[in-house]
Amino acid sequence: MIVTAAATAARVLAWAAEPSGPVPDGPLWDVAALAVPPDGVRDAVGQLARCTAARLGAGAPPFGAPTAIAGPRIGLGAVFLAAAAGGRRQASVAALLAGAVPPATPSRNPGAWYDLVARHGVVSAVVTALAEAGGGSASVGAAQAQAAGDAPDGNVPVPLPELLLDASPLTTVLYRPTLRALHSDTTGQAVATAVALVARPRGRAVLAAGLAGWTPHPHVLTWRASLLARLRHDQRDLLLDVYLAARTRFAADWDQRISWAARQVSMSATADPLAIATLRFWAPLAAMEREAPLSGPRPLMSGQDLALTLVRRFRLDQAGAA
């Protein structure tokens, strides 16, 4: 029996609903059939969207997204992304599939949230699994070189994880934008998506939970610090919710990571990027504390003093520091 692109997409969609182990892979035969996927694939997309919304705590429908009488408005984006991820060994075809996903602007179309949750279900699971597997280290290096303008020529292929991120606005907020966007400081659309999410039912709670934990990926922590810094004045309650979650739900982990980062930064002339990013995550809160005491609006917040002291000592709240 010939395994088609639709079958490969179905395997990845089912895996992403409950991700465990490596990302499935398979061939991309009969790619054109993805334009009208079989009912089994459409059902898998719907199941993935429901599972992802439940994990996020986004509600049903997610973020209060309007649903049509016939069901939720989930497009083909998640199907294409799942097929691209599963067919990653056929790099050129996978890249074309990921690039064929239409852009989405949830700030202008509230009905897009169901579709974006489905995309996030695929992309967040795939990108984190590939990162943990370590198989994308060379690809990440190529992406960094290309983003920084150090690539030997303009034809360096963009790594698949970066293409997937580019097609999933919700993942760019909760995980990170592409490395190219981060290096060129063209993350305005991701910031706009975050602002739109705050205004949606349960959006602020999802953001607070999704941004509050420590991660071993310095680019992710750096993005979170950047996003929170940009939202500090207009979304003060969101920032307080993020740091309150960090100091309650993830306190033990953060205490361990902050102590480690302090040692790294103190002992080394060339500080570990992860250590710097770990401390810089707290820079927006340090800036907020300079403006007003933190005890009033969030009396339960405690234990952040060491992080804020280190931010000031190493001047990590200043542009270009370390």
Neighbours of 60 (CB within 10 A): 13
Per-residue pLDDT, 145:
45
Calculate the average pLDDT of the chain. 88
Q: Which of 99, 85, 71 is nearest to 23 (CA)?
A: 85
Q: Residue 70 above 70 pLDDT?
A: no
Residue linked to tokens 């305005």: 188
Q: What angle do CA 194, 200, 205 make, to 5 degrees?
A: 75
pLDDT band at 207 (very low <50, low <70, confident <90, very high): very high
- Comparing 140 with 281, the larger pLDDT belongs to 281
Query: CB–CB of 123/168 below 8 Å?
Result: yes
More confident residue, 294 or 310: 310
Q: How far apart are CA 267 and CA 257, in angstroms?
A: 15
Q: d(Cα 96, Cα 98) in Å, to the nearest integer?
A: 6
Q: Which residue has the higher pLDDT, 59 or 148?
A: 59
Q: How confident is the model at residue 291 (pLDDT cuts 50, 70, 90)?
A: confident
Q: How many residues does the chain have?
A: 322
Q: Of 223 and 270, which is predicted with more confidence? A: 223
Q: What is the pLDDT of residue 240?
A: 93
- Tokens representing 61 are 């429908």
4 — phi, psi (to 5°)? -95, 175
pLDDT of 321 over the 50 cut: no
Q: What is the pLDDT of residue 32?
A: 94
Q: Provide the pLDDT for residue 322.
A: 42
Contact by Cβ (8 Å): 100, 84: no
> Are 197 and 206 a contacting pair, CB within 8 Å?
yes
